[in-house]
Amino acid sequence: MSKPRIYKVFVVEDNDWFNKMIVHSLSQNPDISVKGFFTGAELLKALHEVPDVITLDYKLPDTNGQMLLKKIKEFNPDIEVIIISEQDDIEVAVELLRQGAYDYLVKSPDMHSRLFNNVNNLLKKSNLEDRIEYLQKEVEKKFTFSNSIIGQSKAITETFNLLEKASSSNINVSITGETGTGKELVAKAIHYNSERRNKPFVAVNMAAIPKELIESELFGHEKGAFTGAIEKRKGKFAEANGGTIFLDEIAEMDLPLQTKLLRVLQEREVTPVGSNTAIKIDCKLIIATHQDLKKLVDEKRFREDLFFRIMGLKIHLPPLRDRGQDVLLIAKKHIEDFCKSNNMPPKTLTEKACRKLLTYPFPGNVRELKTVIEVAVVMSDDREVDDQHITFQHSDLVSQVSNEELTMREYTYKIIKLMLSKYNDDIQHVSKILDISPATIYRILKEFNHR
């Protein structure tokens, strides 16, 4: 971000000495540009310059502070006005503050220090607001559809059209696709291109939360509602109020909680655990899953009424192996981003590297491609990434477990153990890579550890 802008302050004071004293005092801050005026008429002629702050003498030869304050606020209500008066009149001060004045200062020996502190506090507030606005624009730029989803294949261009429709209304959205296809990235793109972009985006991975804590996580709880509830906590739905809530891996939700979620969506309100008071909520719902929810409905493992409530506009993200040349476009973008973030010179893919990437099925999809590219860039010692720098983890994994004759259950256990060893026993991370729930990993480990 560029350096902070110069803060513009106008001083309106008919006493020549006092005017110069205020101008001199405020000019000590190099980030402030100060102009002095002696009458209300002079100020009004210069309002088109849109100052950030005006220090205003309450009694001027051609008008009074109250009238001038009204005209300033009518011109631009964002201009902050600090009234300076010779009289300590509480009633007048209260009325001026009610009409929008930032502060009311009485002329005294310490007034200039109070004024200096006031203006500096407003400067910090303005810089913070500028920073927030800048970051908001950067986030929106990052999550434009073309930046979020890279590709030109027919499969992905059809997705762009659906994203536009999903962002232009409050319709529920369901995102399906294999693990690693970028479901959360798409959910963020929908949010940051919608009218709710300035409100929270709250993501919840249902598979990563212990079942006994999901209700509290989603809906909140009161202090003492259960063992360990040492303080009141706001739920994810309340956090997302006005914005978007993204429920990833919603198929992991058990039937009793599905019933409660259905009621929340129907009533547009949540009741925290341990409370009898409902809280109104207004948030767009986006759900995602790699499972076939319709099949789960047929198997009585997912409520049919909830299924129809949440499906809304369906967006299916195609696997990377079905996107043709998109693999190279994504790879080149990852190389560019990785080199920039690590202060490395730009690198390019050789023809052999491109051919190798295009012949691999990428079972881990875009997430796997990103990891493969980052490793390849690090392994490359010059400006080119060649085929020898590209290694595929899934291929290595298969070679490690395929040299024995085992049952499918034993193969699964061995793969889980290898992956846990590779990723420092991070069960959540391994569950995402292998596309199984953490609960399944715990169950298989327990089964084999008791043999």
Each residue's pLDDT tens digit in the chain (451 positions)?
445 577 889 999 888 888 888 888 888 888 888 999 999 899 999 988 888 889 888 888 888 888 889 999 889 888 889 888 887 777 878 888 888 888 888 887 667 777 878 887 887 776 656 655 555 555 555 555 556 678 888 888 888 888 889 988 899 999 998 888 889 889 998 998 888 988 999 999 998 888 888 889 999 888 887 877 788 888 999 999 999 999 999 998 999 999 999 999 999 999 998 888 899 999 999 999 988 899 999 999 999 999 999 999 999 998 898 888 999 999 999 999 889 888 889 999 999 999 999 988 888 888 889 888 988 898 888 899 999 888 886 555 544 544 455 665 676 777 788 778 767 788 888 887 776 788 888 888 887 776 5
Q: Tell me the C-alpha distance between 101 and 97, whole Å.
A: 5
Nearest in space to 142 (alpha carbons), one of 203, 180, 193: 193
Q: What is the pLDDT of residue 286?
A: 96
DSSP strand pairing (220-221 vs 233-234): antiparallel
User: Smallest Cα–Cα separation from 393: which of 376, 411, 367, 368?
Assistant: 368
**Burial group, residue 113, by CB count within 10 angstroms (0-12, 13-18, 19+):** exposed
Helix, strand, coil shares, percent, the chain, to 5: 50, 15, 35
Query: For tokens 């956090």, what's the residue?
Result: 239
Q: By the 8 A CB rule, do 58 and 81 touch?
A: no
Query: In this structure, what DSSP letter does residue 383 have?
Result: S
Report the b/e string of 73-87 with b at 16+ CB within 10 A. Answer: eeeeeebbbbbbbee
Q: What is the pLDDT of residue 127?
A: 64
Comparing C-alpha atoms, which of 93, 109, 56, 99 is closest to residue 77? 99
Domains of the chain, earliest start first: 7-138 (3.40.50.2300), 145-316 (3.40.50.300), 320-391 (1.10.8.60), 396-449 (1.10.10)
- Cβ-contact 238, 281 below 8 angstroms: yes
Backbone angles phi, psi at 6, to 5 degrees: -75, 130
First to last CA, the chain: 59
CB distance 50 to 44 below 8 Å: no
Q: Is 268 left (phi over 0), alpha (psi -120 to 50) or beta?
A: left
Q: Which tokens in the block code for residue 347?
A: 């690198």
- Which two three-digit tokens encode residue 89? 């009149």
What's the pLDDT at 399? 47
Q: Residue 82 in contact with residue 115, Cβ under 8 Å? A: yes
